[in-house]
Amino acid sequence: MEKRHEVRLGARYLFNGELMEVVSFYNGYFQLRGVNHKGVINLLDSEVDKRLQQGQLVPARSAILNETEALRMIHLDASEQLKLDNIAYYIRKLHEKFHGSLPRESTLAELQNLASERGDPKPPKYTKIYNLMKRYVESGQNIFALLKAPQNKCQRAKRLEPEALDIMQTYIKNYYLTPTRLPASCVYQLMRGHIEVLNEDRTTDLDIPSTATFYRAVNAIPTYVADCARLGKKAAANKHKFGTSIHCSRRLLARVEADTQELDVELVDDFGLNIGRPYLTMLIDTYSGALIGWSLSMTPPCYEKTASALRHALTEREDGSPAGLPEELVVDNGSEFYNASLLATAQRLGFQIRFCSRGQPDQKPFIESFFKTLNKQLIHCLEGTTKSNPAEKGDYNSTTEATFTLAKLRNIFEDWVHSYYHKRRHGQRSLPTLEMWKQSIDPINPPKVFSPENVSFLCMASFRCTINKGRVRHKNLAWTGPGLSHLAEVVGAGQSVEVLYDRSDLGTAYVHAPGSHVFYTADAVTDYQYGLSMYEHELVQEKFKAEKKAYDETDARKALLRIHTEISNGKTRSERRKRQQLQDALIQQRSLDITHEFYPDHDHELESQETDNALIKQDIRGNEVDDSEEDDYQTIQLPRKKP
């Protein structure tokens, strides 16, 4: 039978070219974790030899050198160390003379000679030398093989029925390895109760596992496996994370990290009304620790906000503060960075973008450390701060205590950066940030900066439209200016013009005729557009669209159709006749009221007149007059007033 490959914990293998380390063995699976990445692979024990034969699994470093034995050697006391050195002397000398084979007579004679040379009155016996030589040769002449094996005396564990062990493992799996995270003591009581119920109906009772047996089974579960089941994969990966320090080139702007975070402070407008929490996009040079660009506004994370911070980083400053074009920009996978617009910008400017692995903020530690410093030393000290969590916030009411406007926060932040942050040492750097930046500038190849006009294209976009009443419109936005009416006459009626606008600030647009290099400035029609980004405007439009859809006008349109249908039906001749008869009855009633007013003492004359009218109507019915021949209107004679 072919000997199987022995996989030892701590050994490292190349699995499909990736360096992995064997971390644990549980339920027939070896758990391998990546050395250079955070991947985890569970390899079935029976698949090991197959993977080795296929070349997918290649040993890179076995858990050789018996670190356990090396630790034992370090912990040897003086007498034990002396014994080891003594026996090693005999083994090495005999191995040099006999090359591993030990003839009895020759070996005993040589032992006496070696003992005389060493001055040892009690040389080791032949049997001991034979066994030690065998272990020494089989281990590849490893000195650790000469150490005495430790003797761990322990009581033999009580053997349980397979059924009881299966019940124990089932309860561990279904109740302990769950997100509800029941404590092990509670799971043990549930298991114990289950076995006790089973024993009531059995002739021979199942042995109940002891608490020690149960906890040994729980502790045998690899901590990563238990944390994945109880905490979730993301939390488990964060708990068991590891990694080496990130290598940074020793020159300015070789690596720049960027990120966007919502600041822990509530802001108000000029009237003292709460407007929410602002967002800060920041770019930091990892070599010097200098903050080269930022964008602090109410705009949520989007490309426009990233471009605004990048534009600030590329713009030359009058005060000479740190700025320049990065060689590599390290970002996460947020929508404000992972988009075609930023990739196109990087290609035009000539820098690379490196995206971190998903859920791995540690791959850009410098910017994460900066935000932590910013919160502790500035943001959490402001009125209206929300702190980092509800427990730290306590009973503090951030909304009612907020007093800072966005403009005031910007001034405080810029003052803090230039007057405090850039003048202190950070991390393992030996110089303050600003001083390190100045001393690291290469006079032959200084940081590349641009004028504001040369970086304005980062957020520019255009559209075509016609000029209507001195205005240009796009996506429910409008701009106007004194030159637009003149431009409309130049291009002619119905002809379109091209409008250039900044996506990060919709307050101003530039209009020109196709083929012309003359641009006319157009300002926003309403104050709503000033300081507004296209991303924010599109969010507003989507909200309006959703509200319009929520209040469906279908029922209202159906009611309007019904009303107009009734109006249309009311225009027929029969309806007009009914309305006329109703009007006749009303007029007759009014005439009776008027007659009663003029002749209050002659009621009997009216009664006789009503009798005559009744006789006339009876005569008409007898003659069967056709309704169609009747006039639509009748004349009513009012009684004359007597003199």
pLDDT at 635: 47
Q: Are 353 and 283 in contact (CB under 8 A)?
A: no
Once rounded to an integer, what is the mean pLDDT over residues 56-74?
Answer: 68
- Rounded Cα distance, 314 and 448, in Å: 8
pLDDT at 528 over 80: yes
DSSP reduced 3-state for 24 = strand
pLDDT at 152: 57
Mean pLDDT lowest among 274-283, 290-299, 377-386, 452-461: 452-461
Mean pLDDT lowest among 87-96, 247-256, 357-366, 547-556: 547-556
Mean pLDDT lowest among 126-130, 178-182, 585-589: 585-589
**Tokens read off for 150:** 């430790």
Distances (CA, A) of 119 to 55, 87, 113, 116, 123: 55, 14, 10, 5, 9
Q: With the C-alpha atoms ordered 502, 503, 504, 505, is the resulting torsion angle positive or negative?
A: positive
Once rounded to an integer, what is the mean pLDDT over residues 569-581?
Answer: 63
Residue closest to 59 by CA, chosen among 68, 49, 67, 69: 49
* Whole-number average pLDDT of the chain: 82
DSSP reduced 3-state for 75 = coil
pLDDT at 470 over 50: yes
pLDDT at 592: 56
pLDDT at 625: 43
- Rounded Cα distance, 114 and 484, in Å: 111
Query: Higher pLDDT residue, 516 or 567?
Result: 516
pLDDT at 586: 67
Query: Higher pLDDT residue, 70 or 17?
Result: 17
pLDDT at 49 over 60: yes
pLDDT at 515 over 70: yes
Q: What is the DSSP string of 256-313?
A: EEEEEEE-SB-EE-TTS-EEE--EEEEEEETTT--EEEEEEESPPSSHHHHHHHHHHH
Q: Are 239 and 228 in contact (CB under 8 A)?
A: no
Fold of 162-239: Arc Repressor Mutant, subunit A (1.10.10)
> What single-letter amino acid sits at 376?
K
Query: Higher pLDDT residue, 187 or 457?
Result: 187
Once rounded to an integer, what is the mean pLDDT over residues 18-46?
Answer: 85
Its CATH class, for the domain covering 256-439, is: alpha beta
Distances (CA, A) of 164 to 26, 161, 206, 209, 218: 19, 5, 7, 7, 15
pLDDT at 315 over 70: yes
**Bridge-based pairing state of the strands 274-276 and 328-331:** unpaired
Instruction: With cut-offs at 50, 70 and 90, classify the pLDDT of residue 323.
Output: very high
pLDDT at 445 over 60: yes
Phi, psi of 328 (to 5 degrees): -140, 130
pLDDT at 376 over 50: yes
Query: Higher pLDDT residue, 402 or 6?
Result: 402
pLDDT at 52: 84
pLDDT in tens, 295-308: 999 999 999 999 99
DSSP reduced 3-state for 501 = strand
Provide the residue ranges of all domains of the chain, joining segments of one domain with +.
Answer: 12-64, 83-146, 162-239, 256-439, 456-533
Query: Higher pLDDT residue, 506 or 101?
Result: 506
pLDDT at 238 over 70: yes
Kindly give the residue spans of alpha helices, DSSP state H, lying in 335-395: 340-349, 365-377, 390-393
pLDDT at 632: 44
**Bridge-based pairing state of the strands 18-26 and 29-34:** antiparallel
pLDDT at 122: 86
Once rounded to an integer, what is the mean pLDDT over residues 239-245?
Answer: 77
pLDDT at 553: 67
Once rounded to an integer, what is the mean pLDDT over residues 153-163?
Answer: 69
Mean pLDDT lowest among 104-108, 407-411, 581-585: 581-585
Q: With the C-alpha atoms ordered 581, 582, 588, 592, is the resulting torsion angle positive or negative?
A: positive
Q: If you count DSSP H runs as helices and E runs as strands, how many of each does the chain have, helices first?
A: 22, 18
Q: Which of the listed ranges 132-136, 222-226, 243-247 does the model predict with the highest average pLDDT?
A: 222-226
Q: Which of the listed ranges 32-41, 88-97, 589-598, 627-636 does the model predict with the highest average pLDDT?
A: 88-97
pLDDT at 517: 84
Residue closest to 510 by CA, chosen among 501, 518, 466, 473: 501
Query: Higher pLDDT residue, 20 or 600?
Result: 20
Distances (CA, A) of 54 to 47, 106, 210, 303, 434: 11, 49, 45, 47, 56
pLDDT in tens, 168-191: 999 999 999 999 889 999 999 999
Instruction: With cut-offs at 50, 70 and 90, classify the pLDDT of residue 464.
Output: very high
Instruction: With cut-offs at 50, 70 and 90, classify the pLDDT of residue 254.
Output: very high
Helix, strand and coil in the chain, % to nearest 5: 45, 15, 35
pLDDT at 59: 83
**Tokens read off for 173:** 């799996």
Query: Higher pLDDT residue, 596 or 470?
Result: 470
Once rounded to an integer, what is the mean pLDDT over residues 577-592?
Answer: 67
pLDDT at 234: 84
Query: Higher pLDDT residue, 151 or 224?
Result: 224
Once rounded to an integer, what is the mean pLDDT over residues 414-420?
Answer: 94
pLDDT at 564 over 90: no
pLDDT at 62 over 60: no
pLDDT at 622 over 70: no
Which are the contacts of 260, defined by CB distance < 8 A and separation ≥ 6? 279, 280, 281, 282, 301, 305, 306, 334, 336
The percentage of residues in the chain with a pLDDT greater than 90, rounded to a whole number, is 34
pLDDT at 239 over 60: yes
Which are the contacts of 145, defined by CB distance < 8 A and separation ≥ 6? 132, 135, 136, 138, 139
pTM over 0.75: no
Burial 415-453 (b: 16+ CB within 10 A, else e): eebeeebbeeebeeeeebbbebbeebeeeeeebebbeee
**Tokens read off for 176:** 């302990």
- Rounded Cα distance, 176 and 178, in Å: 6
- Rounded Cα distance, 460 and 533, in Å: 11
